[in-house]
Amino acid sequence: MSATIERDGDVWVSSRTGTRWHVVCGLEVHAQLRTRTKLFCGCETSFGDPPNSRTCPVCTGQPGSLPVLNEEALALAVRAALAIGADVAPWSKFDRKNYFYCDIPKNYQISQFDRPYCTGGGIDLPSGRRIRLHRIHLEEDAGKAIHDRGTTTLVDLNRAGTPLIESVTEADVTSPEDAFDYLTALKEILIYVGASNADMEKGELRCDVNVSVHPAGEGWRTKVEVKNLNSFRNVAAALEHEILRQIQAYESGDESRYPVQETRLWDADKLVTRSMRSKEAADDYRYFTEPDLPPVTVSPSFLERQRGMLPELPAARRTRYVRELGLSAYDADVLVADRAVADFFEAAARISGRPKEAANWISNEVLRALGDAQTGASTIDDLPVKPHDLAELIELVAKGTIHTAAGRTVIREMLESGTAAAEVVERLGLEQVEDESQLEDWCRAALEGKDAIVADVKDGKEKALGALIGPVMQASGGKANPQKVREILKRLILES
Amino acid sequence: MASSDEELVRRTAELARLSITPAEAAHLAPQFARILEHFKTLSDVDLEGVEPTTGAFGLRDVLRADEPRASLTQDEALANAPERIEDFYSVPKTIGGDA
Amino acid sequence: MTVRFGGQVDAVALRNALDAGTGTVKDVVEECLARIAERDGELHAFTRVEAECARARAAELDAKRASGAALGALFGVPVALKANLCWKGGIADCSSKLLANYAPPYDATVVRRLLDADAVIVGTTNMDEFAMGSSTENSAHGPTSNPWDTERTPGGSSGGSAVAVAGGMVPIALGSDTGGSVRQPAALCGVHGLKPTYGRVSRYGLIAFGSSLDAVSPFARTIRDVARVLEVISGACDRDSTCLPLPPFEAPQPADPSRLAGFRVGVPKQCFPAELDAGVRACVESALQQLERIGCELVPIELPHAELAIPTYYVVATAEASSNLARYDGVGFGVRAGSELGLQEMFAATREAGFGEEVKRRILLGTYVLSAGYQDEWYGRAQHARTKILGDYLQAFEEVDLVAGPTSPCTAFRLGEKTADPIAMYQTDLLTVPASLAGLPAISVPCGTSAGLPVGLQLVAPAQEDGRLLRAAQAFELATDHHRALPPMLLGAQA
Ligand SMILES: [Mg+2]
Ligand SMILES: [Zn+2]
């Protein structure tokens, strides 16, 4: 019977044998570079276009066609490498990876083998652990084979030739949580530096996992590759499942069940991995230097130009927001998670000179408008409200022209219609009423029949005033200056 | 010629997706062995410290601006395809990938 | 008056006559089609004659001339294309069953440039399947015959283009030279064949055999025509990353084109091996003396790694070919077999049914030399050996301006003579592959006949010195009459 396996940190313990199992795992991530055109031809990169409408002689592998490298792809790849502190090779070259499949039109993929453009680097996780990168290389994507329609497999080559970077970690990942955190951080960096949109749903980020387990103190065992992981959650779930499957297999003592070197596919519906094919001797990619592409050198000046285009990275921003701008760690996280939001925040904070208020308005109001049917905006840049609009609102509140509650009405109106703050205030007549006699009228009305409260206040229980302020604000349509209302109520009660 | 040559030919043919018959393998194997024997001079020379020549004699950094060029129409792209269904290439049913 | 060119009129003369108002392009094209109709039944140089296309083009060009527009450098000149050059108007089947009826959806850069120069493409020519062979016998269309003796091969792989010119059917034709595929048939058919410096001419649209060796290469009856074609088709191309960023070639205009005073011509002893045919040796030795008479100094030199050339070439070329030809799998183009099988089985069935024996042999060889466990020993060593071969030339060119020797170790051999023995066939490339491996410009020029069959003199120049090469070839041409010799079958047509 299977043993119960329990977690003890990153160690998995068998209840039956007491064996302490360690996990060795590496991740391979393919990210689509954010270029207009493909890696080796002038076809526009494509998502959701009619099948085979974005292809040319080059990306369909027509006889006689030849590749020419897209400079922007190289630039973006270099920027991604710099962002994770990797070493960009002074020269690199392309190689052919030869294998037969219907979605790769030349039956070789142009990739990089023994001279990748980048090696090393790493990403620090929130847990404090560091995942080192082994290498990153540039390569072209395959097309799409569609298996679920009719009695044949259909092939769409729109995606063929799309520029990818494939990053491979060292075997530093020791838990499903590490994998999840690493992917989250990597995605954030890629988006930040503008190298990739990294949208998993569009296939712009794809992850494969290599995993093996071994008893503490023993050598590494057979590694299994898991593919078809279409979300970070699936990566973590598949990894957990695969770790348990492997441990159970070894614990069974039945050698025929032991893990073999193979590729398994994650079935996200059934929550299992299943064997796709055995690797053994089947793979012989016969890599050799691509004779159609001369080598690529990255000059120091090219490197510096790309470095100059790097924005401040998320981790550095987060720290600065907390230390220098006085934001809470939570607010800093929320803002930094999306580079566009962080940029919006910084602009609004700079213009208004009030970072805390800017952070509050953005996290409480502005972000709520995203994905909202009313605004139809999916990113902060789609909104009609720009940083200087928000800064204007912040100033109106700070000067006391309107109070915070009215501000909420104003910002919602701004987000819906794009109208400037001052204009909304004027149109809705939200400017605070400062006129003493008007305020006094509202206060007298509110005191009507509230003898108990009046008595309490006279007894020195000033807190009781709160119950009166609400009705006054209501009567004023939210326009009364609450500070003044409090003063007037107090005076009227004490005078009575 | 030993059957190990035939085995080598058969395995290489599999890699190259050539479904050669046993008779062909038997015919090709001795030729193959003779050709390689004839090429043995390559193994005799001292190539210590020599850089490889891979083509593209001296060229480097040949790059293209990220500017779109016209694609083919679907019909142009698919015109030579042996089998087509709607606007797709059609191939025998297969599951899963190969790489 | 009609312009006749049945072996007598070269392309530049033809173009100039048309420019001067003599005759029409229509006349030229009809004359050309008539010659093809008359001779190609016997020679079988063409895989397809695109008569209607050529006639429509002629009408278009005559109208252009009538409009007074400036005429291109090859205005009205009929051209034949080897069947491995992509042309929207034609079929580029590489003489392979697998690629039967392949209609490229784009033009090769060289095709575009020929058309921009107002040339008329009249058809596609026979070749060894995917350019693999030295006799034009490995063709799905059957063999091509040598006009000098129709029982013999024209050489290969560009035999069809060589014969289209040698047989007086077109003044110029394009072939491709990977290890001698233009120079060797040029020698065996008695015409000029130039392999330019690697990268001088764009490969975009040339269906690849060995990518690091392939060169689009012209055949012509005069050096003036060779130079004109090179002027038209050469120059930087933004669709071929290995194309040199140079302006189009310009033919040199020496004061005295018949003299080569002070030229030092290296004569490598390795180019005169024991197996060299005695008649070839005699012709080439007298050609070398001719070079001396026009002012050259002959310098004995060494190419010490020449014996590595054949294995190096066959390892590099087949390795690249095994990958280049992987795309012929029955998915995007070509003829599929085994539709009823699984995907991978369909690939194998398609390739098994579609490729001929020599192509399969080379794919196997190329796959093997790249495969795990063998790559270092074969492909890796070949790349290093290639550097040695290149080094031999670099050293030689410290001392000499050109290297000269025979193009082919033998004259045209009989059809079927070497088909059973791949190694014997590979040996015919012995003298042409070194320049291919080194990426150097090389030309074969007619230098006489032996037992009634043409012999070629090969000249090799340093990289990018295509001009020097043509200058020397032209001086030799002017000093001799060899290029005027016509095959017996054409002599009756001379009137
Ligand atoms: Mg990859
Ligand atoms: Zn394309």
ipTM of predicted complex: 0.96
Last residue of a domain, one of A428, A451, A466: A428
Do residues A417 and A474 share a domain? no
Domain spanning B3-44, CATH class: mainly alpha
Chain C contact set for A291 (CB, 8 A):
211-212, 242, 320
| Tens-digit pLDDT profile for residues A363-381 | 998 998 887 767 777 888 8
Residues 83-102 of C with CB under 8 A from A: 84-86, 92, 94, 99, 102
- Angstroms from A337 CA to nearest CA on chain C: 41
Chain C residues whose beta carbon lies within 8 Å of the beta carbon of residue B91: 330-331, 343, 346
Q: State how far Cα C329 lies from the chain centre.
A: 28
Q: Are residues A85 and A205 in the same domain?
A: yes
Contacts 24+ apart (CB under 8 A), C368-374: C368/B8, C368/B12, C368/B32, C369/C315, C369/C318, C369/C319, C370/A98, C370/A286, C370/A288, C370/C319, C370/C322, C370/C323, C371/A284, C371/A286, C371/B12, C371/B15, C372/A284, C372/A286
User: Tokens 């690199």 identify what position?
Assistant: A92
Of the candidates B55, B88, B97, which has its C-beta nearest A52's C-beta?
B88
* B55 contacts A284? CB cut-off 8 A: no
Question: What is the distance, to the nearest Å, from the Cα of residue B35 to the centroid of all Cα atoms in its chain?
Answer: 19
By the CB < 8 Å criterion, does C215 face chain A? no
Question: Which of C132, C367, C388 to probe the B interface (max B CBs under 10 A)?
Answer: C367
Give the residue from C157, C172, C180 showing the smallest Cα distance to C232. Answer: C172
Tokens describing residue A77: 């790849």
Q: Look up residue A433 and give its DSSP letter.
A: B
> One digit per residue, pLDDT tens: chain C, 495 residues?
345 554 457 999 999 999 998 899 999 999 999 999 999 999 999 999 999 999 999 999 999 999 999 999 999 999 999 999 999 989 999 999 999 999 999 999 999 999 999 999 999 999 999 999 999 999 999 999 999 999 999 999 999 999 999 999 999 999 999 999 999 999 999 999 999 999 999 999 999 999 999 999 999 999 999 999 999 999 999 999 999 999 999 999 988 999 999 999 999 999 999 999 999 999 999 999 999 999 999 999 999 999 999 999 999 999 999 999 999 999 999 999 999 999 999 999 999 999 999 999 999 999 999 999 999 999 999 999 999 999 999 999 999 999 999 999 999 999 999 988 888 888 889 999 999 999 999 999 999 999 999 999 999 999 999 999 999 999 999 999 998 999 998 886 543
C-beta of residue A367 within 8 angstroms of C-beta of residue A388: no
Omega cis (within 30) before A127: no
- Beta bridge partner(s), residue A92: A296
User: What percent of chain A has a predicted confidence (pLDDT) above 90?
Assistant: 64
Please tell me whether residues A119 and A237 are part of one structural domain: yes
Q: How far apart are CA C57 and CA C30, in angstroms?
A: 12
Chains that touch C (3 or more CB pairs under 8 A): A, B
State whether the Cα torsion A384-A387-A388-A393 is positive or negative: positive
If contacts are CB pairs under 8 Å, which of residues 8-37 in chain B contact chain C?
A: 8-9, 12-13, 15-20, 28, 31-32, 34-35
Q: Mutating which of A56, A152, A292 best tests the B interface, going by the most B Cβ atoms within 10 A? A: A152
With H, G, I as helix, E, B as strand and everything else as coil, classify residue A132. strand
First to last CA, chain C: 15
In this structure, what are the phi and psi dihedrals at residue C454, rounded to the nearest 5 degrees? -65, 150
Model confidence band, residue A278 (pLDDT cutoffs 50, 70, 90) = low
The CB density around residue A262, as the number of other CB atoms within 10 Å, is 18
Catalytic annotation, pick one of C96, C181, C408, C436: C181
Would you give the end-to-end CA distance of chain A in angstroms? 85
- Give the Å distances, CA to CA, from C72 to A37, C22, C129, C222: 35, 16, 33, 19
A69 and A85: one domain?
yes
CATH of domain C1-495: 3.90.1300.10
When scoring C368, C371, C376, C377 by the number of chain B Cβ atoms within 10 A, the one with the most, hence best to mutate, is C368
Q: Say yes or no: A414 and A484 in one domain.
A: no
Look up C96 and say whether it is catalytic: no
Out of B63, B73, B87, the one facing A51 most closely (by C-beta) is B87
Q: Taking the model in full, what pTM does it have?
A: 0.90
| DSSP code, position A379 | S
What's the rounded mean pLDDT across residues B62-71?
A: 97
- Compute the half-sphere exposure of residue C262: CA atoms within 13 Å on the CB side of its CA: 1
Three-class SS state of A264:
strand
Q: For A345-354, A472-481, C272-281, which range has the lowest pLDDT when averaged over its residues?
A: A472-481
Structure tokens at A428: 């809705």
**Which residues 170-209 of C are in CB contact (within 8 Å) with A?**
203-208
Domain boundary among A250, A266, A297: A297
Q: Does residue A120 sit in the same domain as residue A267?
A: yes
> Is the Cβ of C105 closer than 8 Å to some Cβ of chain A?
yes
Position with higher pLDDT, A281 vs A15? A15
CA distances from C135 to A197, C146, C185 (A): 55, 10, 8
Contact C331 A64 (CB under 8 A): no
Tell whether the model's pLDDT for residue B6 goes beyond 60: yes
Nearest Cα to C290, choosing from C266, C269, C259, C255? C259
φ, ψ for residue B76, nearest 5 deg: -65, -45
Tell me whether residue A304 is in a domain.
Answer: no
**Residue C258 annotated in active site:** no
pLDDT at A282: 60
Segments forming the whole domain that contains residue A477: 436-495
What is the pLDDT confidence band of residue B1, given thresholds at 50, 70 and 90? very low
Angle at C96 between CA C94 and CA C102, to 5 degrees: 65
Between CA C89 and CA C74 the distance in angstroms is 19
Search chain B and give the residue with CA nearest C382: B42
Q: What is the mean pLDDT of residues A465-477?
A: 82
Among A29-38, A161-170, A262-271, C260-269, the minimum mean pLDDT is found in A262-271
- Is pLDDT of A280 > 70? no
Q: Examine the residue annotation and report whether C323 is marked as an active-site residue of this protein.
A: no
User: Under 8 Å CB-to-CB from A202, ≥6 apart: which residues?
Assistant: A47
Return the pLDDT at C490.
87
Q: Does B42 touch chain C (CB under 8 A)?
A: yes
Decide which of A297, A324, A345 is a domain's last residue: A297
Residues paired with C297 in a beta bridge: C264
pLDDT at A429: 76
Collapse the DSSP code of C395 into the 3-class scheme (helix H, G, I; strand E, B; otherwise coil) and give the result.
helix
* Count of structural domains within chain A: 3
pLDDT of B99 above 50:
no
Phi, psi of B90 (to 5 degrees): -120, 130
- Cβ burial of A369 (10 Å; 0-12, 13-18, 19+) is buried
Q: What is the pLDDT of residue A48?
A: 92
Question: A363: which DSSP letter?
Answer: I
Same domain, A333 and A292: no
Q: Does A259 share its domain with A364?
A: no
